Amino acid sequence: MIRGKFLVGALDDLSECFKIRRKVFIEEQHVSEEEEYDGLDTSCGHYLVYNEEDIPVATGRLIKVSDTVYKVGRVATLKAYRHKGYAQFLMLSLIEKARSLGGKDVTLLAQVSAVDFYKKCGFVVDNDEIIMDAGIEHKHMVYHIDDQPHDCSCQA
């Protein structure tokens, strides 16, 4: 069974999250360590997804922007585990955590190649601007919690 665990950056061991992010962002996408490890990890929550064999396969972080707005970032799934439901489980878990904390909106910067995935999760592109981050094109997206059902699905 897929399971996940919410971690607090200032209190919990984030090494498994960092291993996944290193493989995806630094090794695969050639993002520099300085850009990847931006100093925000201890001030936000992280979610770690485990597969059926209890191996960590996906991660993402949740940053409180305001009392009602949360930002998802550093969403990463190991290559061998993509398109198997782990990222969907991760996103639904992060959205539900934001909802439980009183969030009304969840924002993210989506790599252009992942925009369709996030749309299936209920996010919408909120402007036409292309944002360059770590040399990769991104779009700003938002998920309006009150506009979505609790059991929304982001099946790819």
Domain with 19 in it: what CATH number? 3.40.630.30
Residue 156 lies in a domain: no
Residue 152 lies in a domain: no
Residue 154 lies in a domain: no
pLDDT band, residue 156 (cuts 50/70/90):
very low
Provide the domain count of the chain.
1
Structural domain harbouring 53: 3-147
- The pairs formed by 73-81 with CB atoms below 8 angstroms and a separation of 24 or more are 73/108, 73/109, 74/17, 74/21, 74/25, 74/36, 75/108, 75/114, 76/20, 76/21, 76/23, 76/24, 76/25, 77/20, 77/24, 77/49, 78/20, 78/23, 78/24, 79/23, 79/24, 79/28, 81/51, 81/57
Residue 142 lies in a domain: yes
Residue 136 lies in a domain: yes
Residue 48 lies in a domain: yes
- The pLDDT tens digits for 98-147 are 999 999 999 999 999 999 999 999 999 999 899 998 889 999 999 999 88
Residue 155 lies in a domain: no
Residue 153 lies in a domain: no
pTM higher than 0.95 for the full model?
no
